[in-house]
Structures are given as C-alpha cells and as structure tokens.
Amino acid sequence: VLLLKIRATRSCRGISLKTQELYALVFICRYLDLFYSYISLYNTVMKVTYLATAFSIVRYMRFDKVVRQTYDKEQDTFRYIFLIAPCALLALVLNHRFSPTEVLWTFSIYLEAVAILPQLVLMQRTQNIDNLTANYVALLGAYRGFYILNWIYRFATEKHYRQWIVWISGVAQTALYADFFYYYALCWKANQRLQLPA
Amino acid sequence: DGEWARHDEL
C-alpha cells in the first residue's frame, strides 16, 4: 500500500522515514534465518518480499529525485536511539537463548512493537493526513492485531506453542495503535478525512 | 531445543 502511494503520487508526504528505516532494520535482524533454515516457500517468499519492499521504500524516500523532496525532515524528529537502545538492552536480557541470531531475532520483535511511534508522532503533527497514509497505518496495525487471533488458535491446537516474548510484544504493538484506531474508526464512520487531535 | 527455536512466523 505504501509503495503504491509513493509510486502513484510521486510523493512520500506524511510518511516517517524513521519508521521505514526501523522496519528495514527489523526485517534484517529477524530474517537472518533465511540463510540457515527453511520453513516453507510461502514463508521465504514473504520474508524476501518484506525486505525488498522495506528497502525499496527507504530508497525512494532517500534517493529518488522527486520523492525525496516531499519528505518533511523537520517534522520527522523522533530519535532512533530512544527506541533502538532500550530494545537492544531488553533483547540482551530477555531472550530464549543467548546466541547472536537469537538475540537479534528478539531485538527485532521488541523493535517492531515500537517502530510505528515516529509515524504516529508525525501524523499527529500533520493537518491533512492522506487517505492512503491512514489506510497504510491501519493495515499495519491490523496485521499484528490479527496475529493475536492466530496465536490463540495455535495455542489451543499445538502442543509446544509457547511464545511469550512474541505474544507480549505483539499485544503491546497492537495496543500502541488503539488510540489511532479509535479516531480512524470515528472518521471512517463519519465519512471524513482522518484528523488526529493534537 | 524446544519448538520455540523454530521461528515460523513473519
């Protein structure tokens, strides 16, 4: 959805480069297992797709002659270090096994939970939020939100399905969207363009 | 190792 917006409108207005770069980092750290484990063709294709689209979006926003001029750097002020440092620290302490790939995987789980924050802050400062931007954020939130249903199903049907790091992070991630979803639903019901209160 | 080592979710 985001690539569609950027390519069709030649603009990344209202999109946080910080969030996009954090997602690229999340996918790098999480999908290192592409090199040493195979789960299914679907799983591999989706991992490669996420990596490719994340990097493509960052490339457009940073280097495309037209698109990069629409990036509002002054408004996108969230500091990377405030998200990366606590997640890295937490991953070093709270993990299933203290190995490089496992710690990086855990770091990616924690970082994904909070990676939306720069985007949410930027949207709060934006007067006219594009429909595509609003839909993109809603879909991103719904993506992990729907996982919760899947986790309940898997917990009930699979014997060794215990993933508390993933569950807690996923619920926290979804909770961060709660406020956004509330206003998204209100505006959708009223058939109005999304506006977030300051 | 238990099942947790197999990260099959995206």
Tell me the longest C-alpha to C-alpha distance in chain B: 21
- Does the ipTM surpass 0.85? no
Tracing tokens 């999480």 back to the chain, one arrives at A30
Q: Which long-range contacts (CB under 8 A, 24 or more apart) does A181-187 make?
A: A181/A138, A181/A141, A184/A134, A184/A137, A184/A138, A187/A134
Which residues of chain A are within 8 Å of residue B5 when distances are taken between CB atoms? 96-97
Amino acid in position A197: P
Give mean pLDDT, residues A52-75.
Answer: 97
Give mean pLDDT, residues A132-145.
Answer: 95
CB-nearest partner of B10 from A46, A160, A163: A46
Can you give the pLDDT at residue B4? 53
Q: What is the rounded radius of gyration, in angstroms, for the C-alpha atoms of chain B?
A: 7
Q: Which of residues 57-116 of A touch B (CB under 8 A)?
A: 96-97, 105
Query: Could you say which DSSP state residue A195 is in?
Result: -
pLDDT digits (tens, 9 = 90+) for A85-102: 999 999 999 999 999 999
Which residues of chain B are within 8 Å of residue A40 when distances are taken between CB atoms? 8
Question: What is the pLDDT confidence band of residue B1, given thresholds at 50, 70 and 90?
Answer: very low
Query: Could you say which DSSP state residue A65 is in?
Result: T
pLDDT at B3 over 70: no
Query: Which of A163, A165, A167 would you mutate first to test chain B, the one with the most B CBs within 10 A?
Result: A163
pLDDT at A197 over 90: no
**Alpha-carbon span A114 to A118, nearest angstrom:** 9
pLDDT at B6 over 90: no
Q: For chain B, how far is it from start to end, CA to CA, in angstroms? A: 21
Question: What is the pLDDT confidence band of residue A104, given thresholds at 50, 70 and 90?
Answer: very high
CA angle at residue A153 from A147 to A157, to 5 degrees? Answer: 140
Can you give the pLDDT at residue B5? 59
- Closest approach of B4 to chain A, Cα-based (Å): 7
Can you give the pLDDT at residue A160? 86
pLDDT at A106 over 70: yes
The answer to whether the Cβ–Cβ distance between B3 and A37 falls below 8 Å is no
Can you give the pLDDT at residue A154? 95
CB-nearest partner of A39 from B2, B3, B8: B8
Mean predicted lDDT score pLDDT of chain A: 96
Can you give the pLDDT at residue A198? 76
Give mean pLDDT, residues A170-194.
Answer: 95
The answer to whether the Cβ–Cβ distance between A160 and B5 falls below 8 Å is no
- Closest approach of A162 to chain B, Cα-based (Å): 7
pLDDT digits (tens, 9 = 90+) for A1-29: 999 899 999 999 999 999 999 999 999 99
Query: Could you say which DSSP state residue A97 is in?
Result: S
